[in-house]
């Protein structure tokens, strides 16, 4: 074989041993300094006084309530945001309507607004002096400084996660499969459950995992709308700050270790889903439309 048949591969930028290993060393050093070192400190401090003291700290009533409130918030906010994400992705990718681009912008807003600003905005909407405050007070409905406010703030900051994962995938898939299923007599729900959902399941789970991790770790917006009432409206991130301000360093790190474990579990789940083709690492391959429709509507 001649060189003409196999042209030389053009060199990559910085593709010399010195530059390559310098860049790798630089990334490893700063990655360890910024990510691994804090994680190691969290677990080291959490167990500094032994496993017994760690267990006692986690078993304290305020800590248990903070964990319970965090889990409860996630159990409410994540499913609602999942439904919103699926509905938004379906509307944007399957229909043409006026305001479609505006809807895309609205979905992206939580990524460009500080969570603290979002929390303050909720004060001006649902607070006593806010837009709906007097009506809510007369109806004896409490939104702020209670579970509803925490859920609303958590939903705001995590609203884009599911939709952002589904929209590119559903745009790439197009509408052929759904239209073929409908033409073969499948109802709307059956088309969604047997055609659309199987093709988006890994991207959907990917978005749900990221949404759940952000809900449990949210601090800024929740700190504004919760009132930081000890043992009542403190989620786990807020409780960690409270323990630290009480000079209970070991207790703060013990509580923080729970969120650190959640972060590690999220990373593992994220990598596993990426291997399935979810996320930006890849997209699920689509079957032939004819074969897929015959199999899923039979």
82-116 tens-digit pLDDT: 999 999 998 888 888 888 888 888 898 998 888 99
Which residue has better confidence, 235 or 171? 235
- Looking at the domain assignment, is residue 5 inside a domain? no
- Looking at the domain assignment, is residue 39 inside a domain? yes
- Looking at the domain assignment, is residue 22 inside a domain? no
- Looking at the domain assignment, is residue 2 inside a domain? no
- Looking at the domain assignment, is residue 11 inside a domain? no
- Looking at the domain assignment, is residue 10 inside a domain? no
Q: Which of 110, 92, 82 is nearest to 201 (CA)?
A: 82
Contacts of 192 (CB under 8 A, 6+ apart): 90
CATH number for the domain including 40?
1.10.3720.10
Alpha helices in the chain (DSSP H): 17-31, 37-46, 51-58, 61-94, 100-112, 115-126, 133-138, 147-158, 160-173, 176-183, 188-191, 197-217, 220-226, 236-245, 249-275, 289-297
Q: How many domains does the chain have?
A: 1
Which residue has better confidence, 66 or 176? 66
Range of the domain at 205: 34-297
Asked whether 262 and 215 are in contact (CB, 8 A), the reply is no
205-264 tens-digit pLDDT: 889 988 998 999 899 899 999 988 888 899 999 999 998 888 888 888 988 998 888 888
What is the pLDDT at residue 237?
93
């Amino acid at each position: 074989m001649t060189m003409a048949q196999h042209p030389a591969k053009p060199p990559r930028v910085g593709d010399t041993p010195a530059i390559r290993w310098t860049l790798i060393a630089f990334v490893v050093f700063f990655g360890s300094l910024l990510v691994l070192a804090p994680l190691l400190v969290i677990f080291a401090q959490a167990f500094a006084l032994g496993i017994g003291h760690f267990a006692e700290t986690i078993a304290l009533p305020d800590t248990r309530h903070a964990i319970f409130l965090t889990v409860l918030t996630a159990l409410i906010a994540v499913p609602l945001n999942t439904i919103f994400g699926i509905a938004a992705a379906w509307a944007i990718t399957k229909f043409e309507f006026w305001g479609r681009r505006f809807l895309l912008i609205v979905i992206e807003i939580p990524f460009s607004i500080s969570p603290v600003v979002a929390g303050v905005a909720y004060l001006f909407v649902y607070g006593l002096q806010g837009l709906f405050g007097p009506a809510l007070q007369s109806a004896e409905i409490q939104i702020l400084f209670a579970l509803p406010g925490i859920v609303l703030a958590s939903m705001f900051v995590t609203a884009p996660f599911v939709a952002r994962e589904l929209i590119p995938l559903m745009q790439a898939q197009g509408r052929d499969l759904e239209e073929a299923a409908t033409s073969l007599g499948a109802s709307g729900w059956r088309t969604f459950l047997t055609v659309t959902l199987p093709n988006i399941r890994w991207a959907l789970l990917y978005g749900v995992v990221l949404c759940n991790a952000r809900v449990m770790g949210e601090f800024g917006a929740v700190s504004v709308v919760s009132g930081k009432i000890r043992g009542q409206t403190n989620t786990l991130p807020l409780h960690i700050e409270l323990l630290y301000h009480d000079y209970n360093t070991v207790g703060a790190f013990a509580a923080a270790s729970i969120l650190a474990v959640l972060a590690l579990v999220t990373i593992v789940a994220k990598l596993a889903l990426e291997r399935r083709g979810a996320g930006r690492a890849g997209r699920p391959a689509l079957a032939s439309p004819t074969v897929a429709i015959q199999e899923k509507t039979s």
